[in-house]
Chains A and B, each alone.
Chain A
Amino acid sequence: MEATRAKIRAFLAKFFQHADLKDSDDIFALGFVNSLFAMQLVLFIESEFRVTIEDDDLDINNFRSIDAMAQLIERKTTSHLAM
């Protein structure tokens, strides 16, 4: 899970250059988030972690923080492996 968090952190650093993001920080509350960023985030998660983000995953709480995204990826990876 820490490797996942590190990759997300590195990706977010491109967008939140002046913020020292903690894993639990709410990125929506910090601002700088627009629809274009959200889509880039979805594409990043899909390509980097080989998962597919679907309609049911589109809950803002899944993308609110580094921790939340890491948990989403963990769930998606686990469910994929279980199939």
Chain B
Amino acid sequence: MQTTLTDQQQSAQARFKAFVRTEILPHADRIDQEEYTPRELISKMAQQGFFGTFLAEEWGGTAMDMITSGILHEEVGYGCSSLRSLLTVHSMVSYAIQKWGKAHLKARWLPLLASGARLGAFALSEPHAGSDAKSIETTATLQGGSYRLQGQKKWITYGQIADVFLLFAQVEGKVSAFLVERDTPGLSIIPIRGMLGTRGSMLAELHLQNCRIPAENLIGGTGFGLASVATSALDIGRYSVACGSVGIAQAALDASLRFVHTRKQYGAFLKEHQLIREMITNMQTNVSAARLLCRHAGYLKDIGDPTTLMETFIAKYFASTAAVKAANDAVQIHGALGCSNEYPVQRYLRDAKIMEIIEGSNQIQQIHIAQYSYQQHR
């Protein structure tokens, strides 16, 4: 793997950074405080082609290599984890349809998703099923030419505004995946507010009461909802969260660097104090290591290496943990100021904690990574 970026990747990175600094950063605290993402900001991201990076050109996507897509998710995550989570779930849905959807679903949805004219959201979690996805209770019953959905989904990122949901339900005891349009009769959407972090990601509950969808909206075949559709979509989601976590950690480091160069205590700038240096050292080292793990996972995706699944687990586990540590230290360095909304570091800490929970909690990551390690040791 080449560890330096190509000229094209560096150019894309500069474009992403410029967009984040001018269009996202000025609004990030407000998005967090108001628990709302302005539509005009989503439109600006769409104009940049940010919603189609995982899609082929034939569908209107930009077919970016995975490392460049990862850089985009890092940079957006640097500015605002809520907006990065929009890219995450939208990319998961787009990728799943492109990989596993039938021709008519691809033709209908992919151009709309690639342009950002329609937004996708991922609906797996339920009130009683999170990590244990096989135990979801929502059911889909085939009746004539349609499936009748019955149940409830919870914690659905951008569920408040998504146009189409990749939704998982039990079909005769087997988890299967479906596309459900927002305006389907029988689907009601209840906003969730008051979350700890990524507060602008407009979470929702989905209530499905006799919700009928066409039978051809099934994706991946009956019983393949988890093994193919969810696993491949979650791999993309995990990669996005890993890269977004690097963005949070870098933002925490940058905020800390600005602060330690200007704040004086005991007659010296904070940067001169050895215990501050220790925290800065750990932040810098972890950011660099996490970024390399993400680039490695992205490289393996680009070459189609099956180990990318587990390397992405490792990247997500390390990067999310590093983001929490970095944001926690950033708050510590800022002292009381770090606990106030005058500084963004408290937002970084709240957002970072979410990264340890979503797309597979870190305990689930640990279980799988240990198993992977056992496989390597023969």
CA distance A60 to B232 in the complex (A): 17
A77 at the interface (CB under 8 A from B): no
Contact B235 A58 (CB under 8 A): no
Q: CB < 8 Å: which of A14, A39, A42, A43 contacts B375?
A: A14
Q: Which residue of A lies closest to B309 (CB)?
A: A40
Chain A residues with Cβ under 8 A from B306's Cβ? 40-41, 43-44, 47
- Interface size class on chain B is 20 to 34
Chain A residues with Cβ under 8 A from B231's Cβ? 35-36, 38-39
B227 at the interface (CB under 8 A from A): yes
A2 at the interface (CB under 8 A from B): no
Chain B residues with Cβ under 8 A from A60's Cβ? 223
B180 at the interface (CB under 8 A from A): no
| Most interface-central of B220, B226, B232, B306 (chain A CB within 10 A) | B306
Q: Which residue of B lies closest to A39 (CB)?
A: B231
Contact A58 B220 (CB under 8 A): yes
CA distance A45 to B253 in the complex (A): 42
Q: CB < 8 Å: which of B100, B307, B368 contacts A58?
A: B100
Chain B residues numbered 87-123 whose CB sits less than 8 Å from any CB in chain A: 100-102
Chain A residues with Cβ under 8 A from B230's Cβ? 35
Chain B residues with Cβ under 8 A from A41's Cβ? 306
Chain B residues with Cβ under 8 A from A58's Cβ? 100, 220-221, 224, 228
B378 at the interface (CB under 8 A from A): yes
CA distance A39 to B229 in the complex (A): 9
Contact A36 B219 (CB under 8 A): no
| Most interface-central of A44, A47, A58, A60 (chain B CB within 10 A) | A58
Contact B220 A46 (CB under 8 A): no
Interface residues of B (CB under 8 A from A): 100-102, 219-221, 223-224, 226-228, 230-232, 235, 303-310, 368, 375, 378
- Which 9 pairs of residues, A with B, have the shortest CB-CB distance? A47-B304, A43-B306, A38-B227, A39-B231, A35-B227, A58-B221, A35-B226, A44-B306, A40-B306
Interface residues of A (CB under 8 A from B): 14-15, 17, 35-36, 38-44, 46-47, 54-55, 58-60
